Amino acid sequence: MKSGLKFTHIIVAILLSTLLCGCNETESKLWQGYVEGEFVYVSSPLGGQLDEISVRKGQTVVTGQPLFTLEREFEKSGVDEAEGNLDRTISDLADKRKGRRPSEIASIKARLRKAVAAERLAATEYKRRADLYSTRTISEEERDQARTDYEQATQLVKEIKSELKTATLGSRTDEINAAESSVRAAQAKLEQARWNYDQKAQSAPRSGLVFDTIRYEGEWVAAGKPIISILPPENRKVRFYVPEQIVGSFKIGEKLLVNFDGLAKPIPVTLSYISAQAEYTPPVIYSSQSRAKLVFMLEAVPAEDKAVLFKPGQPVDVSRTAGGFKIDNGFFARIKNYFRSSDD
């Protein structure tokens, strides 16, 4: 009886091997792969001590949400200094454009009134001396001295009038241009100081999952070193491998289906990339049938609303049709029950 049972087991094993060989047609419609994620690494262009991390690993963030802050007291001092320098240059420019102060102009006007009075007195004295000279009462030298005093008084009035006009016009054009250049330079320095200050605090450049916090609060972080990695939904894709014999049948934009453990039904994806270089089956693909065969790598992307279901590193199966995922589980269940009943 036992020998007959063993013979039956042998027959069933042969049938099972035949079935597995017959599965080649199904397997030819099914390709293995994994989920790949392209991470966005966020860092600061300036180094410093990490003061605060505002998010946690596994959290979903949106564009513009604060991520972390580095120590920035030095940069804050630079901003304050640049703001003070800009205020000084603006005040200097305004002073040059409006001319002298009212008190200075009032002083010039007072000097002008004094000079005009002196001119009138010199004119009267010169006229009187000229009359005396005509009657030969005084010498020619005295008359000439009076005329010289009058001419000097007249020139002084003209000089002060010119000074008053200049005072009301403001500084010269070249001085104003130089002051304007100083203002522009101060503005540029302020913008640079503010940029340095702002770069010590970074926000999320993209919406997505905080995949990892690479540094910890209190650490010194060098310039450009990543602190947080973000995985946007649109940066998740499926990478799979097909034999060289069929790679030519795939087209960019083609619709495919992806299945993985725990999924109720396959998810549609769109073929986005076909590698131009052949390679051997990567070791992460555990398939004895495809091992050491020449394959090409392909990539496909899911719809954005389905992308969050894909986890980087997750093994997947890819097919062109839903039938590619079907296996006769009922047959294997019957075989299992047969062996169980035979043992009993």
Match 């999924």 to its residue by tokens: 263
Q: State if pTM tops 0.85.
A: no
In the chain, the domains with their CATH numbers are 28-38+234-325 (2.40.30.170), 99-169 (1.10.287)
C-alpha–C-alpha distance, residues 27 and 271, integer Å: 20
How many CB atoms lie under 10 A from the CB of residue 43? 19
pLDDT exceeds 60 at position 284: no
Q: Which residues pair with 68 in a beta bridge?
A: 53, 202
DSSP 59: -
Report the range of poorest mean pLDDT among 29-43, 112-126, 183-197, 274-288. Answer: 274-288
Q: Alpha carbon of 173 to those of 96, 169, 178, 187, 260: distances in Å?
A: 9, 10, 9, 21, 77
Chain segment 147-195, per-residue pLDDT in tens: 898 899 899 888 888 888 777 765 567 788 888 999 999 999 999 999 9
The pLDDT value recorded for residue 4 is 45
